[in-house]
Amino acid sequence: MKIFQIERNSNCPCESGRKFKKCCQTRVEDAVRCISQVVGADFTAEGLEVIETLGFLCGLQAEGGHMPAPEFLGAMLSKAWEEEERVRDIRDEGALQGLSLAFQVLLEKAQLRHIRIPLWQFDSGDDAEIYEVDDEVVKILNGPEGRFFIVEAADSIGRSLLYDDYTEDELKTLLIALGWLVIDDTRSIFLYSVLHKTRSELVAAGEEADQILESHGDEDQYEVYEEMHLLFRKYPVYEQMLSDGISKDINPAIRAVAQGELPINVPLYAVFEGTYAVISKLTDSMSTAFSQEAGEKLPPLEETLFAGGEYHYFFPEITRALDEAVLESQDNEFRSSLNSLLTFLVYLKDTRQINILKFLYLRCICIHLSEFPRIIPDADLEFSSLRDYCNQELIERYADYLESQDMNEEAAHVRDVFISLGEQARGQADLHEQEIVNLARAVLSDMQESNSPQ
C-alpha cells in the first residue's frame, strides 16, 4: 500500500506551511533514489513501496533529531530483507515469532509507545474474551478503516528514526517491521505484534497500578499521584483506556453538581483569590458584555487557579468534598460515577479534565459570592455580605483562626491575597455589591440549564 500520497501542490507534511514541491519533495525523491541504488536493482513492486515510504520518512526536513543517512538506511534495508527472506524460505514459524518478539521489544522506544491498538474500542459488549476478537480487529485494521492507524504508525516510525537511538540490529528489526506494515500481504504480522504488545502492557499496567494503590495509605496521596503519572508515561495506552472509559461514567456526577443536587463546597481560603478576581475584574467586563451569557462576563479564572497557584489549595479541598460525597451516597451507580470523577481529576491530564476543574472552581466561587450569611461556627466568624470578604479585621480573624487549626500555609495564602488584591476588591464590592451577587447567581443558574462544562 502506498502510505504517503502527497500531491506536488499539497501542503508539505513537514508542516513548514509551504507546498510540497517547494519544500521537501526534492529531498524525498533524492532519498528514495539513494536508498534504491544502495539496495540494488533487484526488488519487487512491494519492495519499491517500502523504499518509497522509508525515503519519505527520512527526506522530510525536521528540527533537531538525528535521522540516519539514506545510504545507511538503504544498507540496513538490504540486510533486513535478507534476514526476512531467509526466515520465510525455511518456513520457520519460530524464527518469524522471534522477529515479532524483537519488534515488540522495540515498541518500548519512546517514539514507538504510541503505536498501540485501542482494544477496548473493539469490544462488542458481549462476554467474549478479549483475545477472541484479535482476528476481527486485524481484519478491520487491514480494511479501509485501518488506514488512519497505518499512516500514524508509519509516522511514529519516522519520528523514532529521528529521535530514538538504535543499534544496527535494532534498526534491522525496525525496517523489517516497516516492511510488514507497508506490504498488504504481511500487514497482519505487524498488527498481531502490536496487539500482543498492547495486551501485555494493559495487563502489566493494571498490576502496577494495583501495587501503587496498595502500597500507599490514604495519607500519602501525593506520592500515589506522582507514581501514577510515571506509570502513564510508561504506558500511554493504559491512560488512554482509563480516560475513554471514565469520560462516559462521570456525566451523572457532573450533572448532579451542576443541578445543585449534590452540594459541593470548599472553604473560603481554597477559592479566595478567585473570589477576589471575580469581584475586582467584573466591572471591566460588565459594561461591554451585557449581551453575553453570565459566565462569559467573568474574568478568565485559569490565571488565579493555575498561574496564581490557588490550585494548590483548591485541589485537595475539592477532592476531599467529592470523597465525602462518595461516602454519603446511597446509590451504587451514582457512587461509581463520583468515583470516576475523582479518578478523572486525580490521575489524568487532558483538556476536558482542566475544563471540569475550572467548572468546579467557578461553581465554588459563585457559591461563596451568592449565599449569605456564611458562618464559620468554630471561629465565631460570620461573613454577612460580600463586603465582609474585603474587611481587613474579619479577614485577619479568619487567618488567625486558620493558624489556630495548624493551617499556617492556608493562613499565609489568605493574608497574601488580601494584601495584593484586597483593596481593589473592596472598591468594587462597595460600588457593585448587588450586581456581583446577581451575576454569581446567574452563573449558577446557567450551569443548571447547560449542566455540563464541556
Gap between the Cα atoms of 155 and 77, Å rounded: 18
| Nearest distance, CB of residue 34 and Zn ion, angstroms | 18
| Nearest distance, CB of residue 64 and Zn ion, angstroms | 15
| Nearest distance, CB of residue 25 and Zn ion, angstroms | 8
| Nearest distance, CB of residue 66 and Zn ion, angstroms | 18
Gap between the Cα atoms of 172 and 81, Å rounded: 9
The DSSP element (H or E) to which 214 belongs, if any, is helix 187-215
Q: Which three three-digit cell numbers place residue 270?
A: 481554597
Are 147 and 181 spatial neighbours (Cβ–Cβ below 8 Å)? no
The nearer residue to Zn ion, 12 or 80, going by C-beta atoms, is 12
The nearer residue to Zn ion, 12 or 39, going by C-beta atoms, is 12
The nearer residue to Zn ion, 2 or 22, going by C-beta atoms, is 22
Q: Which three three-digit cell numbers place residue 176?
A: 523489517
Neighbours of 83 (CB within 10 A): 17
The nearer residue to Zn ion, 16 or 438, going by C-beta atoms, is 16
| Nearest distance, CB of residue 13 and Zn ion, angstroms | 7
The CA radius of gyration of the chain, in Å to the nearest whole number, is: 29
| Nearest distance, CB of residue 79 and Zn ion, angstroms | 29
The nearer residue to Zn ion, 23 or 209, going by C-beta atoms, is 23
64 dihedral zone (left: phi>0; alpha: psi -120 to 50; beta): left
Q: Which residues pair with 374 in a beta bridge?
A: 383
Contacts with 373 (C-beta within 8 Å, 6 or more apart), sequence order: 382, 383, 384, 385
Task: Give the residues lining the site for Zn ion (CB under 5 A).
Answer: 12, 14, 16, 23-24
Coil, strand or helix at 280 = helix
Which residue, chain included where needed, has cell 511514529? 156
The nearer residue to Zn ion, 24 or 241, going by C-beta atoms, is 24
